[in-house]
């Protein structure tokens, strides 16, 4: 597993990598993680339960825990780690992870197969999206398989990564057959409903999100005062931090809602369940969302969900467990009013909702489906250097030659490293974590 985003950071990608790795280990596979360091504590090699080995590479971050694209400086670390650990397949995560994209470039020199998972939705118009989409397209030209967390995310990744090929029957372009959809999951036992029924006299609407524009916090700022005015028995609990926190503080002061809107600040993941069970309704106002693991956690904790109809959100829950709204103020007011009526009448059963989510999503099934993708990749034919150069040239008249030069120079640098430090001189790892011994100690 390779990504810029991993423990000790907390987030959807970080949790996905850890849970998928843990379940693959339980299924008998050897899994390691490569990420950047977090000085002074997370440097070098560390172990996480249940036997997950993590390499923290000494690369500095530039923003949001992402490293600057290096291409060549990562190759010496990558080559040694992959060779020492006898790795057969690398799985990169997240479009904005430089380490993940560079690992896909380097892996083919070692005969290692590649898989990439995209966790987010991106646009096509602004300069940042255009640049990141071109970087993604270059990385995915030679990847062996792509996994997306929702069907909407799949459509977005196919367009951004140019994952097309010519049909055998005609010259028409079709989506490459190695693009899969495997959703996120959760540990349902960590999100059990409240042991005692939540009072219906005062209804709490819970919001747990990064307080940023992309998460639709402007919609929350606009709708919260109107909901408090329309429903005297409805209060808000808002957890999270971000640049839009000041907007929430200002609207709370302006409308004198200090006793109606509770701002918790940053919430640790282990405390999320305790915050969720205080409420009856979970509100998601995101303007773009590939999957929305927070929605799944809230539904598992027994909350009725109200969400904007964006991205892959409509794929997460049955329609009787969630109310959708357009990302507009008036329509969000309508959906919240419907949710308040449903909860007030006792038409939503938290225990039943928990059981349904528990049956829908589990990490064991995600690991099993990912295994099938790995097996298909290992059995597929590997591309040689000439084929990879030809596919890279398809990026366009400007990007194509640039990335082809990067590919060729990367190959030459790899050959130089093979001469400078031959693989047979490396200190290979022969002893691994013995899970049976660990179970006996437990």
DSSP string spanning 28-56?
T---EEEEE-BTTTB-EEEEETTTEEEEE
CA distance 382 to 393: 18
Instruction: Give the Cα separation of 213 and 53 in Å (integer).
Output: 36
Confidence of residue 438 (pLDDT cuts 50, 70, 90): low
**Confidence grade of residue 393 (pLDDT, cut at 50, 70, 90):** very high
C-alpha span between 18 and 25 (Å, rounded): 11
pLDDT in tens, 1-29: 999 999 888 778 888 999 999 999 988 89
Q: Residue 435: its pLDDT value, please?
A: 65
Percent of the chain's residues with pLDDT above 90: 60
Reported as a pLDDT band with limits 50, 70 and 90, residue 182 is very high
- DSSP β-ladder status, 52-57 and 145-148: unpaired
Which residue pairs from 246-252 have beta carbons closer than 8 angstroms and sit at least 24 positions apart in sequence?
A: 247/217, 247/218, 247/221, 248/211, 248/217, 248/220, 248/221, 248/224, 251/221, 251/224, 251/225
154, 311 Cβ separation under 8 angstroms? no
ω before 159 within 30° of 0 (cis)?
no
Rg (CA), the chain: 24
pLDDT tens digits, 149-177: 999 989 999 999 988 887 777 678 888 88
Model pLDDT for residues 104-158, shown as the tens digit of each residue: 999 999 999 999 999 888 888 888 788 889 989 999 999 999 999 999 989 999 9
pLDDT at 61: 83
**Euclidean distance between CA atoms 182 and 164, whole angstroms:** 20
The upper half-sphere exposure of residue 274, i.e. CA atoms within 13 Å in the direction of its Cβ, equals 6
Residue 57: helix, strand or coil by DSSP? Answer: strand
pLDDT of residue 346: 87
* Position with higher pLDDT, 256 vs 51: 256
pLDDT tens for 315-349 read 989 999 999 999 999 999 999 999 999 999 888 99
* pLDDT at site 293: 87
Residue 128: its pLDDT value, please?
A: 78
pLDDT bucket at 437, cuts 50 / 70 / 90: low
- Are 394 and 400 in contact by the 8 Å Cβ rule? The answer is yes
Between 63 and 80, residue with greater pLDDT: 80
Please state, in angstroms and rounded to a whole number, the distance separating the CA atoms of residues 212 and 358: 30
- Reported as half-sphere exposure (CB side, CA atoms, 13 A), residue 192 has a value of 5
* Best CA proximity match to 363, nearest among 85, 15, 95, 83: 15
List, in sequence order, the alpha helices (H) in 115-260. 127-140, 151-160, 217-230, 245-254
Cis status of the peptide bond prior to 374, with omega within 30 of 0 = no
Residue 384 to residue 38: CA distance in whole angstroms:
36
pLDDT 10s digits, 36-63: 998 888 888 998 888 899 999 999 888 7
The number of residues in the chain equals 442
Lookup result for tokens 């989510």: 357
Task: Give the pLDDT of residue 355.
Answer: 93
Report the chain's mean pLDDT, rounded to a whole number: 90
Strands 164-166 and 173-175: antiparallel
pLDDT confidence bin for 440, thresholds 50/70/90: low
Model confidence band, residue 439 (pLDDT cutoffs 50, 70, 90): low
Confidence grade of residue 441 (pLDDT, cut at 50, 70, 90): low
The CA distance from 123 to 327, in Å, is 17
Q: Which of 67-76, 152-161, 364-373 has the lowest mean pLDDT?
A: 67-76
Does the pLDDT of residue 396 top 60, yes or no?
yes
Q: What is the pLDDT of residue 229?
A: 93
Has residue 442 got a pLDDT over 60? no
User: Which pLDDT band holds residue 222 (cuts at 50, 70, 90)?
Assistant: very high
Q: Global pTM?
A: 0.87
Residue 86: the pLDDT is 92
Spatial contact of 83 and 428, defined as CB atoms under 8 Å apart? yes
Percent of the chain with pLDDT over 70: 98
- Taking the CA atoms of residue 146, residue 147, residue 150 and residue 152 in that order, the dihedral angle to the nearest 10 degrees is 0
């Amino acid at each position: 597993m390779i990504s810029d985003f991993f423990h000790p950071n907390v987030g959807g990608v970080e949790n996905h990598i850890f849970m998928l790795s843990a379940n693959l280990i339980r299924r008998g596979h050897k899994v390691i993680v490569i990420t950047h360091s977090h000085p002074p504590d997370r440097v070098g090699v560390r172990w996480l339960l249940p036997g997950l080995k993590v390499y923290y590479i000494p690369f500095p971050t530039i923003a949001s825990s992402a490293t600057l694209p290096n291409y060549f400086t990562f190759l010496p670390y990558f080559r040694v780690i992959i060779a020492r650990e006898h790795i057969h397949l690398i799985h990169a995560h997240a479009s904005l992870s430089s380490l993940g994209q560079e690992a896909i470039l380097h892996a083919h020199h070692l005969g290692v197969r590649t898989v990439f998972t995209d966790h987010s939705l991106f646009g096509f118009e602004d300069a940042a999206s255009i640049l990141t989409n071109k970087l993604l397209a270059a990385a995915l030209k030679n990847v062996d398989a792509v996994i997306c967390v929702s069907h909407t995310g799949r459509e977005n990744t196919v367009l951004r990564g140019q994952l097309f090929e010519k049909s055998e029957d005609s010259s028409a372009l079709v989506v490459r057959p190695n693009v899969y959809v495997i959703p996120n999951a959760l540990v349902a036992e960590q999100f059990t409903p409240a042991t005692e029924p939540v009072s219906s006299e005062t209804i709490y609407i819970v919001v747990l999100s990064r307080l940023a524009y992309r998460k639709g916090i402007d919609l929350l700022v606009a709708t919260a005062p109107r909901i408090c005015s329309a429903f005297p028995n409805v209060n808000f609990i808002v957890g999270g931090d971000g640049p839009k926190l000041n907007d929430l503080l200002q609207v709370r002061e302006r409308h004198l809602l200090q006793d109606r809107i509770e701002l918790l600040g940053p919430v640790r993941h282990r405390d999320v369940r305790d915050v969720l069970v205080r409420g009856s309704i979970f509100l998601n106002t995101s303007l773009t969302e590939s999957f929305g693991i927070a929605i799944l956690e809230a539904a598992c904790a027994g909350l009725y969900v109200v969400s904007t109809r964006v991205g892959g959100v409509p794929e997460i829950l049955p329609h009787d467990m969630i109310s959708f709204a357009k990302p507009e103020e008036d329509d969000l007011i309508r959906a919240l009013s419907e949710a308040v009526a449903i909860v007030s009448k006792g038409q939503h059963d938290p225990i039943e909702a928990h059981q349904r989510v528990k049956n829908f999503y589990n990490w064991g099934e995600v690991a099993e489906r990912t295994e099938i993708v790995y097996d298909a990749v290992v059995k597929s034919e590997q591309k040689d250097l000439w084929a990879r150069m030809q596919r890279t040239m398809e990026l366009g008249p400007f990007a194509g030659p640039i990335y082809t030069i990067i590919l060729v120079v990367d190959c030459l640098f790899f050959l130089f490293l093979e001469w400078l430090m031959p693989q047979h001189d490396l200190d290979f790892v022969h002893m691994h974590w013995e899970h049976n011994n660990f179970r006996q100690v437990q």
